Amino acid sequence: MRERVDRIAEPWGDRTPYGPGGPWPVRVDAFLEPGVDADEVDRWVPTASLLHSNGDAMDVAVADGRIVGVRGRAGDRVNRGRLGPKDLFGWQANRAADRLTRPLLRRDGRLVETDWATAMSAVVERSKRLLRERGPGSIGFYTSGQLFLEEYYTLAVIARAGLGTNHLDGNTRLCTATAAEALKETFGCDGQPASYTDVDHCDTLALFGHNAAETQPVLWMRVLDRLAGSDPPRLLCVDPRPTPVARHATVHLAPRAGTNVALLNALLHEVVRTDRVDHDFVERHTVGYDELAERVADCPPSWAAGICDVPAARIEQAAELLGGAERLLSTVLQGVYQSHQATAAACQVNNLQLIRGMLGRPGCGVLQMNGQPTAENTRECGADGDLPGFRNWENDRHVAELARVWNVEPSRIPHYAPPTPAMQILRYAEQGSIRMLWITGTNLAVSLPELRRIRDILGQERLFTVVQDLYLTETARLADLVLPAATWAEKTGTFTNADRTVHLSEQAVDPPGEARPDLEILLDYARRMDFRDRDGRPLVHWHDAESAFEAWKDCSRGRPCDYSGLDYGRLRGASGIQWPCTREAPDGTERLYTEGITWAAPDTCETYGKDLVTGAAVSETEYRALNPDGRAVLKAAQYLPPHEPADARYPLQLTTGRTLYHFHTRTKTGRVPQLNAAAPDVWVELSAAEAAARQLGEGDLVEVTSPRGSVRGRLRITGIRDGMVFLPFHYGYWDTPQGDRPGADGGRAANETTITDWDPVSKQPLFKTAAARIALVARADGHRAPAPTTTASAPADGASVPPTTGGPEAVAAQHADAPEGDAS
């Protein structure tokens, strides 16, 4: 079957139904630049998706040294040939006319072009001076979730053992920190227990704050194909917006923002009350059940209904769905991670799986999802708030083991305190103790909360800011030094998706101008800094991506994220491979914990845990007393109200989020014609009842104001719950006359309004629990909201809004059961 489909209007394409336990049928999606035929393609170069966390395997089409399209890889376990809209069209951002091609150095208040020798000398001289005058704590790094494993590992070695700074984190703190922390709190160690293939087997799928249709569209295609097949799974959706997931759900719960713990405690209450507990599993594999049962005993659905504003009967229906499941798969994303009591709520989802005994077998498990393509790698490699290899910074044996790998003294690796999280790094920069901040592949002048404050921090004269990126972003405009970087398909490296599948991405084309791969920049810095191990040899002893990968394998050997059985040759096969991959498991590991909990013992665990309310560390002694045998920990949590409730002045709850067609701050997707046309500007979502109460209509220009700032956008009336206003967070200022901040016509970036607050355990900022008000600026007068109609921003029933389409430029091929090499 060969079809051509407008993949903006129909983002998930056609269905290929299948039943439980069957293989997901192949469907190869492809898009070639108009006017280019498949027989004109010189070569197809393997890679995987960059603009989300799913890890869709694909091949890049190259003709005359240019990228001219992509096709999905039929043999890959993740996507079986399918691609989402950002996969199909996003590669065009590589060819944007405004790519950075030469370094920029600030002179006399202006960024001017310079050469690489001058640029690298500037950062090296500043580094050496700060080390000499102020010590390693004066240097900080803020990295991305979009680099390659080899780059994160090199950065971790440079920061931890080269410079000796504890100040290294990534923008993964905004999306995946709670996922990591929840897994560590429950299982003693990071690492996704489940696999995407569990969608093939489950009879019940529960999505908690996970709008999979927009954040992981190919995974949603897998779900849709199960729903279209025989014996489809039942769906539970927890989300305050009418997402595509909610529209397909058996039960949809739309709670007030910040009340996830109350809702989850009520679900646990019902599972315990109706004795749907697998007591044998709980006895053999967990600790803490009695405390959990006691905590939720006083949390019936009627109690949660008053807090969450969800009918008690609906909560009971959801609990029946969970309690009656024979193969339960749960997924979690930003609706939990970026909301109040984030880690506490995510741990309660783990608790639901564990007390039901739904772990380590087909169709049974939990996926604490990621938000970026290589977020998993930041955690594995120690480029965020962990040590490499999921080692415990409080365990001297773990630090000594890492020191042996790097051939340095243990004292050289900072472990006097936990690695510094991103929001604290920014606070140190604000206070003046950090004097150099190196930002790689992320746009924090749009993505962090309370942007006025962030601009003030980055604008300090005493702070030397280095930005390594593809474009002159809002953040780059505030930098002292800008380094032009190569991106996906212009360099080689590996990346690991949300279910531990490792893919190799090979260089397909040259980067533009003098842009360099991030790894090359870091290796150059290490050479110029002359970092040495204790034997006087270069600390960073690798020279390219493959040798960096081999070094990482040594660091990961024997650890939970063991890559020792992988190499570039194996990763050039038909499919990615899941870690751990070892001599004993040469084909990788589909799901974890098939034979019990393996990394929670006091001597092997990645953390001893934290108090879910205060974030205070659990001591080694306390952990040994609690969990001497290394079982999963059922951590109970008390519901506490959000820190910024709605009130008379700010009567609405403000939440922010993604749309299907964009990624992060649009630095790439905003430069892609098909994607940008589908969602060209910021909009505001409000329910019909809230709009009517304020005499607002579809397309009106409105202003959303919080105690920190305001945003203007056109109004879209949707089925969002009453009492809430939604803003997409993608939009900044790089494509406006101002360039990096609001103009006279008001703010455009959602984070002008968000609160500087974070989860006490994961230190993840909370973007979904602020208070706001909304006011009319001007009537629609023929204008409409620039919001897609295909997604959660679809207009409320009865609204007359033209449908979102892509036209001829967005038509892509779909080949069901086509040979992998056929891309016509």
Q: How much of the chain, in percent, has pLDDT values that exceed 70?
A: 99
- CA 585, 587, 592 angle in degrees (round to 5)? 60
Which pLDDT value is given to residue 823? 33
Residue 649 burial (CB < 10 Å; 0-12/13-18/19+)?
Answer: exposed
Smallest CA-to-CA distance from 268 within 641, 594, 634 is with: 634
How many whole angstroms separate alpha carbon 48 and alpha carbon 253? 34
What's residue 325's pLDDT? 98
Give the pLDDT score at 1. 43
Structure tokens at 769: 């629990």
For residues 265 and 292, give the distance between their C-alpha atoms in angstroms, rounded to a whole number.
9
Residue with tokens 């791969």: 517
d(CA 764, CA 175) in angstroms, rounded, equals 7
Closest to 249 in 3D by CA, of 688, 719, 795:
719
Segment 214-222 shows an average pLDDT of 98
What's the pLDDT score for residue 2? 53
Instruction: Tell me the mean pLDDT in the region 464-491.
Output: 98
Mean pLDDT of the chain: 96
pLDDT digits (tens, 9 = 90+) for 734-743: 999 999 999 9
What percentage of the chain exceeds 90 in pLDDT? Answer: 96
Assess whether pLDDT exceeds 50 at residue 270: yes
**Model confidence band, residue 528 (pLDDT cutoffs 50, 70, 90):** very high
296 vs 302: CA distance, rounded Å: 13
187 SS3 class: helix
Residue 817, pLDDT score:
62
How crowded is the C-beta side of 57, counted as CA atoms within 13 Å?
A: 27
Question: Residue 385: what pLDDT?
Answer: 79
Answer whether 161's CB lies under 8 Å from 408's CB: yes
Strand bridging mode 251-253 / 234-238: parallel
Sequence-ordered alpha helix ranges (H) in 434-491: 444-447, 451-458
Peptide bond into 580 cis (omega under 30): yes
Tens digits of residue pLDDT in 600-641 = 999 999 999 999 999 999 999 999 999 999 999 999 999 999
Residues in the chain: 824
- CA nearest 214: which of 328, 330, 329, 334? 334
Strand 328-332, strand 365-368: pairing: parallel
Q: In this model, does residue 344 exceed pLDDT 60?
A: yes
pLDDT of 821 reads 40
| pLDDT tens digit sequence for 121-145 | 999 999 999 999 999 999 999 999 9
Output the pLDDT for position 370.
Answer: 94
How wide is the angle at C-alpha 236 spanned by C-alphas 86 and 319, nearest 5°? 155
What residue type is assigned to position 168 of the chain?
A: L
- As a dihedral over the C-alpha atoms of residue 378, residue 379, residue 380, residue 381, rounded to 10 degrees, the angle is 50
Give residue 745's pLDDT band: very low, low, confident or very high (50, 70, 90): confident
Query: What span, in angstroms and rounded, lies between the C-alpha atoms of 493 and 576?
Result: 13
pLDDT score recorded for residue 815: 83
The pLDDT value recorded for residue 691 is: 98
Q: Is the pLDDT of residue 156 over 50?
A: yes
Mean pLDDT, residues 390-406: 98
User: pLDDT tier at 119 (50, 70, 90 boundaries)?
Assistant: very high
Residue 364 near residue 288 (C-beta atoms within 8 A) = no
Tell me the HSE value of 819 on the side-chain side, using a 13 A CA sphere.
Answer: 3
DSSP secondary-structure letter at 510? P
Pairing outcome for strands 27-32 and 2-6: unpaired
**Each residue's pLDDT tens digit, 762-817:** 999 999 989 999 999 999 999 999 999 999 999 997 678 999 999 899 999 898 76
> Where on the phi/psi map is residue 125: left (φ > 0), alpha (ψ -120 to 50), or beta?
alpha
Arithmetic mean of pLDDT, 7-35: 97
Calpha distance 148→377 (Å, rounded): 8
**Span 322-350, average pLDDT:** 98
Report the pLDDT value the prediction gives residue 360, as an integer from 0 to 100.
97
